[in-house]
């Protein structure tokens, strides 16, 4: 399912025009305003620079979620030209697959492509990015990943981080929610730890929580809270050797797993999740920051329990 349908943005009222674009994206390349990341060679992108290796770069604050800036549109233009230059049949496939974008007309030229990108609604730009990743895979072998697709995702994630986009592209080419560094670290650690512990269901619940946070135009905040706590409850029961016991009760009774003050904090978190993710009160919907915090805490505690099982 394409990104705009997952996010529920298809057909949401009047088209939302993007910011003013360069008269020609080629001019942007000449005047130095285009992102230089697309001009790097494959060997260069594979190497981490000194500042990256030593974690010296400051992360860009998250600024964009529901828009496609002129910088992103320029990035997409150069990605299309870089990976499928003048292969018009493939280029048309990428555009038409996104729907609402017309086929590139007869006399194919880069200026027309730039104009189509500058006029497209913001969510269609994200659709094009996902379709380009799919087009770069080996579709003769079940959409198997390829070095070109991997390089493209690396460049796109680097762009998202540099520009402050609250998005990232995963290994399947799907654009997902991205939080700040602390949140991303918690999610990454949980994914690794739960996989190592064989906690498949808990891992899937955390992934579903992330998908709910990423839904647009309205994130499913209650769904994110529900899924994250379901994942934590699942791995807690696995660690305790039990089945179906409520997380709050489990935390109070198994102080060998939930050492103080966790045995006090987790039941309170579970109560918050029940009030905001299950038994909703009119006019008291959770805020995005609260939902993201709950997902982050659930992922961190799930990591702790998964690692504890392996000691």
Which H or E run contains 261? Answer: none
Residue ending a domain, among 141, 176, 211, is: 176
* Shared domain check, 273 and 234: yes
pLDDT at position 6 is: 52
**Which has the minimum average pLDDT: 95-109, 120-134, 231-245, 264-278?**
95-109
* Shared domain check, 271 and 302: yes
State what percent of residues in the chain have pLDDT above 90. 38
CB 80 within 8 A of CB 94: yes
pLDDT at position 285 is: 77
State the first-to-last Cα distance of the chain, in angstroms, to the nearest integer. 40
The model's confidence at residue 39, banded by pLDDT at 50, 70 and 90, is very low
State what percent of residues in the chain have pLDDT above 70. 69
pLDDT, tens digit (0-9, with 9 covering 90-100), for 250-278: 999 999 999 999 999 999 999 888 887 65
Q: Is 292 left (phi over 0), alpha (psi -120 to 50) or beta?
A: alpha
Check pLDDT > 80 for residue 88: no
* Shared domain check, 186 and 225: yes
* Shared domain check, 212 and 127: no
Check pLDDT > 80 for residue 27: no
pLDDT at position 184 is: 81
Residue ending a domain, among 140, 156, 176, is: 176
* Average model confidence (pLDDT) across the chain: 78
* Shared domain check, 237 and 141: no
pLDDT, tens digit (0-9, with 9 covering 90-100), for 171-189: 888 888 888 777 888 998 9
Which H or E run contains 291? Answer: helix 288-309
Output the CA torsion 56→57→62→65 (10° steps).
-120
pLDDT at position 246 is: 93
- What is the residue-wise DSSP string for 31-83? HT-S-GGGGS-HHHHHSPPHHHHTT-SPPPPP-BSS---HHHHHHHHHHHHHH
| Overall domain count for the chain | 2
Q: In whole angstroms, what is the distance from residue 305 CA to residue 247 CA?
A: 13
Residue ending a domain, among 149, 176, 203, is: 176
* Shared domain check, 171 and 185: no
Domain of residue 227 covers 181-309
User: Region 148-159: what's the mean pLDDT?
Assistant: 93
249 or 99, which is more confident: 249
pLDDT at position 119 is: 86
């Amino acid at each position: 399912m394409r990104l705009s349908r997952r996010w529920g943005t298809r057909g949401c009222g009047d088209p939302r025009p993007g910011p003013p674009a360069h008269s020609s994206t080629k001019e942007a390349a000449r005047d130095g305003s285009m992102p230089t990341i697309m001009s790097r060679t494959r060997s260069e992108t594979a190497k981490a620079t000194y500042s990256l290796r030593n974690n010296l770069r400051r992360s860009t604050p998250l600024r964009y979620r529901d828009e496609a800036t002129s910088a992103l549109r320029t990035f997409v233009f150069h990605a299309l030209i870089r990976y499928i230059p003048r292969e018009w049949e493939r280029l048309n496939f990428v555009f038409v697959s996104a729907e609402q974008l017309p086929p590139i007309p007869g006399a194919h030229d880069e200026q027309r492509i730039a104009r189509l990108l500058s006029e497209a609604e913001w969510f269609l730009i994200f659709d094009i990015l996902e379709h380009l990743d799919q087009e770069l895979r080996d579709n003769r072998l079940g959409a198997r990943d390829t070095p070109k697709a991997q390089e493209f995702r690396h460049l796109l994630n680097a762009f998202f981080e540099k520009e402050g986009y609250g998005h990232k592209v995963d290994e399947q080419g799907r654009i997902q929610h991205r939080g700040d560094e602390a949140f991303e670290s918690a999610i990454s650690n949980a994914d690794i730890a739960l996989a190592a512990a064989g906690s498949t269901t808990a891992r899937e619940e955390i992934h579903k929580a992330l998908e709910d946070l990423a839904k647009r135009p309205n994130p499913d905040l209650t769904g994110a809270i529900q899924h994250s706590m379901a994942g934590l409850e699942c791995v807690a029961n696995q660690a305790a050797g039990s089945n179906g016991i409520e997380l709050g009760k489990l935390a109070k009774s198994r102080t060998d797993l939930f050492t103080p003050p966790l045995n006090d904090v987790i039941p309170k978190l579970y109560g918050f999740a029940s009030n905001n993710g299950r038994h909703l009160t009119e006019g008291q919907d959770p805020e995005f920051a609260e939902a993201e915090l709950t997902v982050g805490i659930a992922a961190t505690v799930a990591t702790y329990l998964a690692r504890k099982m392996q000691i």
